[in-house]
Structure 1
């Protein structure tokens, strides 16, 4: 195997190709660290799960930040939803926003599910996106309407449970992650971790209306972008 000497991977025993592929597997799919270890072993790469964990911690957030900068501007219709997750035996609320295409805009883990928490989410979204949406769609939680009146008063707000399936469906990968990881250890850990697979999923997102040929082209572009982000050539 030809080793790539990228400065980002200096002082690492394994080649950059192995590290970037392990990080991609871990964040792209709901896999445990030991599952990634076995998948690498099947390809003749003998590495334990702990280095995979360290690679994910070191590179994951950086890759996610670069991916976010490369993605196209989000849609003008935002779907917001919240779901309860258990962290260290306590209930927390995971707030998530997606656009009409299914791309995750942002997440926020908070201990509360009230108007103040909804305001924090909206302000975080406005800061990250730099522009307000045309339409905001939520379920009938009253906190959304109260927060919207303060933070985004001119935005159209539609409240209907049936309209918000896109946001509700976006929680499913998190539920799978939660089971695989035996739950999250802290709110900060959940916030840091979940923000990474969401961005990787955005990069490799398949639109519902795309045909097979379009999807293959989109996937090829996603792998090219991943190679540019990681500094590792496509084809490992």
Structure 2
């Protein structure tokens, strides 16, 4: 009887552990995805091994493109024409940084809640008020109206990103997607514009200057210089 009771307890414990590993608890993602020996961290580690030299053949290319990685893993693209080089760049960006491409465009578009849940709604409202989405739409509208080389460059980059997406099975997506439980949408020219808007916002927007000005008014000159010395 004791052995039976122990076996029952062990079985219940194992069932509880399996349940916990496969379900999200609050903001904590299901840990079973990470620990899965086939599709978890081990697969991610295997995918991090790059061949030193590959010949890329995708529908977005007019000719074959050779990609050589140096000792630091940085890809160097050798193409017969500029648009093929741009398409290969999009492919490699998706190969190496797919989650970052998706996440940054969601930030600029104010669409984090679509992937991360309603807790991000206030953040999305703030991001929409920054004007990044509006700026992206206006920029792409002008590029389309001009119908010049800029439009063809953007379309080549998008084609390269989507060529990589089309080759990925769900279990081959970067670990971040599987932990958060969503898949990336097909890449669009608007996503390129959003990426550029985010870079502009991130590199130029500054909320510190007004705070420093208010501090300087509230503090004596000596106290302010002690906190923020110029030398």
In the superposition, the TM-score normalised over structure 2's length comes to 0.23
Higher Rg of the two aligned structures: 2
Instruction: Name whichever structure is richer in strand by fraction.
Output: 1
Instruction: Name whichever structure is richer in helix by fraction.
Output: 2
Q: Greater relative contact order: 1 or 2 (C-alpha under 8 angstroms, separation 6 or more)?
A: 1
